Amino acid sequence: MKNNRYYIGKRKKEAICLGIALLCGALLTGFLLVQRGMLVEARARRAGQELSREVLRFHVLADSDGEADQQRKMEVKEALLDYMEGELPQEANLEETCSWVRDNLDELERTAEETLREAGCSDEARAELVRDYFPEKTYGDVTFPEGEYTALRVRIGEGQGHNWWCCLYPSLCFTDAVTAHVPEEEKEQLGRVLGEDEYEMITAYSDFKVKWFFFGGDR
């Protein structure tokens, strides 16, 4: 009887020790996963911050979400792209592109307003170079995460409608985003301008955090 109690007590102690070991292992694993997740998030933030300093976005805001205003927005966008494609220096870097935009804000406004007048619209257009917060946006098969970016913003009228946007530098504005595909030539240009993390972020946005979590080294 005494032996039975001894063996039962011994098994209980072994079970308790095993339970404690499993609990400690689970806690340690959870801690390591949380720590790894925090490192990945920090790396993602760094890549996003670096990305925001390396690109120039272009936004055209419609007066409203009415069908006519949205159509005018697209007409203004096309007119401005035609103008910039012909006038913007093709080999300009980011600083030179921003400088060109600053020097040509009046001409961009004039082009936008001429397009509006041709459409029978009396709205004013305002062009400005801004540093502002933007939500996550997808252009074709390239995704830009939320964050602060420098942008050429053209506001039509009250500018309360949905906007059209593209990346002016490195240039994605002169590609066909409707097909949900950015040509490889433009992606190669992105790769030359952006860092490895930033390029991976925008071209494989749905996968890059998973990859970094399981396989990415800390840099």
83 — phi, psi (to 5°)? -65, -50
pLDDT at 30: 58
Cα–Cα dist 121/146, whole Å: 33
pLDDT at 83: 95
| Average pLDDT of the chain to the nearest whole number | 78
Nearest to 45 by CA among 145, 195, 127: 145
* DSSP conformation letters of 141-190: TEEE-SEEEEEEEEEETT--SPEEEEEEETT-TTS-GGGT---HHHHHHH
- What confidence tens digit (pLDDT) does each residue in 94-137 have? 999 999 999 999 999 999 999 999 999 999 999 999 999 988 88
Structure tokens at 175: 């590609």
Would you say 39 and 218 are in contact if contact means Cβ atoms under 8 Å apart? yes
- What confidence tens digit (pLDDT) does each residue in 7-49 have? 555 666 666 766 676 766 666 665 544 555 455 455 555 555 6
Q: How confident is the model at residue 206 (pLDDT cuts 50, 70, 90)?
A: very low
pLDDT at 75: 96
Residue 153 has pLDDT above 60, yes or no: yes
Residue 209 has pLDDT above 50, yes or no: no
| Residue 111 neighbours by CB under 8 Å, 6+ apart | 79, 80, 83
- What confidence tens digit (pLDDT) does each residue in 46-68 have? 555 667 788 899 999 999 999 99
Structure tokens at 93: 């870097």
